[in-house]
Structure 1
């Protein structure tokens, strides 16, 4: 067996902690470093920060020290309102140092040709070329349920009139108030204008998976059209970031439609609730999350993928695990891939190894 791939995890939040636990279980990966943001976490054992037993790896906020370890790959899982603005400088340093990166942070990089910032994309490509390293972003939606699953199912298609992917999720477990309230509008009256309502934001947010599917199917998207719908809750709802008051937004639905040959043909819908009984007329799920693919064509194809346990269990853990493992399982494939910015179209199926108990 070849030497295990030396791996660093960037952050110990929900996804990062899952990645740490997964890496420690695999003989083909070796956890050599962990980056943290919080001062109180510096020096603490990474395994204990992830909720497990010690792994004898101390957490640090010294990026240069982690780069000096010369890891094969970094699992980048930092979250927060800055996202790409905070992540891109880190990506550049890592790639220029010859370190591969797999990320759940920059969801709009799941298809780099459609990345919203051509300037950042060009910088990342130059850094990857200079360091002979690769960057791969993924997750579950986008990253799998919103794109790769649909392409897999489309291998059965003779003709396609419309391909729609959707996520139906209960996100009462998500703790970042700024994203949930100011970004999406939860907990505010409907006259509040969240970031989601900024003209062009929904189109920008979902352009990458739409363009990824279009590229995989060999068609050209003429434009992307976005719409937003919100619903009120009639009662107070206690969630991870506070209280959603009665009479404020308790459910959000976004829709982005890629136009092909003058018709809305590739559609991404995203439904998020703070409680299962809000917006009862919208599609519902009794699981942590349900990911649907509906293809109208010859043949019609309808597939629902349920993640997590049924109602009352999981609190979003299943979706976070799936998100983390989309990039952890990809590490060996990304390390072996040619240098550059990668999408799922550039890799084989990132099948897991060493996952059976």
Structure 2
């Protein structure tokens, strides 16, 4: 929809990953009227259209790992890429090893194009905005960035259930509980803040808390049964000089009274 509203941009193709979306009109997939552009699951067909730029916004529990070869393929074909799918790319220098960075740099050089990663968070609300607000402080002991969100409108079941654990019992282990996942996902933001303040993060500590719902909740991706997870809290803390000095935390709930 955003591309269609821009007079200086032409939407020439849409690449989807679900078989049920293949061949459907892109306008209808976006909840609007038909626009005469059919979505495809064939990446090579999209590349054959020779677009100047691809906006890569696919999501899913395994998307972070799958996206890197997708980016490389597009870049090598001479297509610029703008993405919100890979949080590491908001601040790639925060991560080691560097194999995937080197791969993307080589692909971009081969295609003579660019890769730009951003987003609301990370990319603005949890990193750049706090740094701007810090300019109003004479001294800073700690920084906590906290978000509370009602996500009952989000329709992608595998992200919400398998990725985050909503609608699952507490003995189910979602991707958020994978060792090191929270630390990896928010390290970019923590290190951006630290770099802007001239300090170094020695360690990133991640925690996940979950809250059960005592009633069934109807949400966009289905029903969350009573006795299953209805809210999660993620917390990523950057340790500076031995203490947790920079924290990014999120409370995501499926109803306002769950947490």
**Structure 1 length normalisation: TM-score?**
0.67
The aligned counterpart of 2:220 is 240
Deviates more, 1:55-64 or 1:263-272: 55-64
Aligned counterpart, 1:118: 98
Contact 1:237 1:245 in 2 (8 A): yes
Task: Tell me if structure 2 keeps the 8 A contact 1:109–1:115.
Answer: no
Counterpart contact for 1:108–1:116, Cα < 8 Å:
no
Structure 1 residues 52 and 177: CA distance shift in structure 2, 3 A:
closer
Q: Which residue, out of 115, 125, 128, partners 1:145?
A: 125
The answer (yes or no) to whether the contact 2:60–2:163 under 8 Å persists in 1 is no
**Aligned pair in 2 of structure 1 residues 235, 53: CA closer, same or farther (>3 Å)?**
closer
1:163 to 131, 135, 143: 143
- Structure 1: segments with no counterpart, 5+ residues: 1-20, 280-357
Structure 1 residue 69: Cα displacement: 2.7
Secondary structure of 1:105's partner?
coil
Cα distance, 1:182 vs structure 2: 2.8
Unmatched 5+ residue regions in structure 2? none
Residue 75 of structure 2 corresponds to: 95
Deviation of 1:55 after TM superposition, in Å, equals 3.0
Structure 2 equivalent of residue 322 of structure 1: none
- Aligned match of 1:327: none
Number of residue-to-residue matches in the alignment:
259
- Give 1:176's match in structure 2, choosing from 149, 152, 156: 156
Counterpart of 2:112?
132
Aligned-partner Cα distance in 2 for 1:242–1:52? 22
Match for residue 265 of structure 1 among 221, 245, 255: 245
In the TM superposition, 1:246-261 aligns within 5 A as 246-261=226-241
Question: SS at the partner of 1:192?
Answer: coil
Q: How far, CA to CA, are the matches of 1:32 and 1:95 in structure 2?
A: 17
**189, 192, 195: which one aligns with 2:172:** 192
Using the alignment, how far apart are the partners of 1:248 and 1:130 within structure 2?
49
SS in 1 for 2:160: helix
